[in-house]
Amino acid sequence: MRYCSSLLLMLSLLTAACDEPSPQWRDDQAVVDETQTDQSDQTDQADQSDQIDQSDADEPVPDEPVVDCTAASPTAAEKNALQTIFPAGETFCADKTASGVSYFIAVRDGQTVGYAFPGTNYGFDGQIVALTGMTVGAKSIAVAIVSQRESWWYRMGDWFFDQFRDIDITQITLDPKYNKNCYPCSEMYDAFKPFTVDAVSGATYTSNAVTKDVWDALYLYDELFDPPTADTAP
């Protein structure tokens, strides 16, 4: 009787062992289930990404305003002068006035932000070539030298060039024009009133030439846009 009981116990243990899955089988099944879950998540994410991309594609893209002009090809010296006047990374187009003088148009984000007009006048030792910047609203920005060979140039301080900033062309008298052969050109400097511009003591010829360059630029701006002057402004 005791032998039969032992035999039945062994048979029960053998049956339970056959029914129990192996640990390795359980681990493999767990890996398969996680892989299937990851693939399902990736599919859902891909579907969501496609929906977002499609949504973005459906959004209308606003047209960027573009200035219709010819790209400029400035010389190295002109490029340096332009970057001095417009240091914010503007691009430049080129055009000509009705009198045939070439000038630069400064463009930023598809919009015209200013102009640079040339001037060339004889100083003490030779021609002084400059570019004068103007805003769209008829105010001077700065004057930058393209070339010069003046022996008295060391006398030209920053204060002299700073005088030509923020001159509102609508507040000064453009006519009559200055005398090209003037010396010491007091009337030319007085014509800037109500703004104050003075020559450099000890470098009169040089400062006169730069000032004439500025006046030539103002006349070119006036030729293009014909702004009201102090004589006609309300």
Percent of the chain past pLDDT 70, that is, above it, reads 68
Q: What are the φ/ψ torsions at residue 39 (nearest 5 degrees)?
A: -65, -40
Q: What are the φ/ψ torsions at residue 68 (nearest 5 degrees)?
A: -90, 95
User: Which pLDDT does position 69 carry in this prediction?
Assistant: 81
User: Which pLDDT does position 44 carry in this prediction?
Assistant: 53
Question: What is the reported pTM?
Answer: 0.70
Segment 10-19, tens digit of pLDDT: 545 444 444 4
- Mean pLDDT across the chain: 80
Structure-model confidence comparison of residues 228 and 156, the more confident one: 156
Mean pLDDT within 38-44? 50
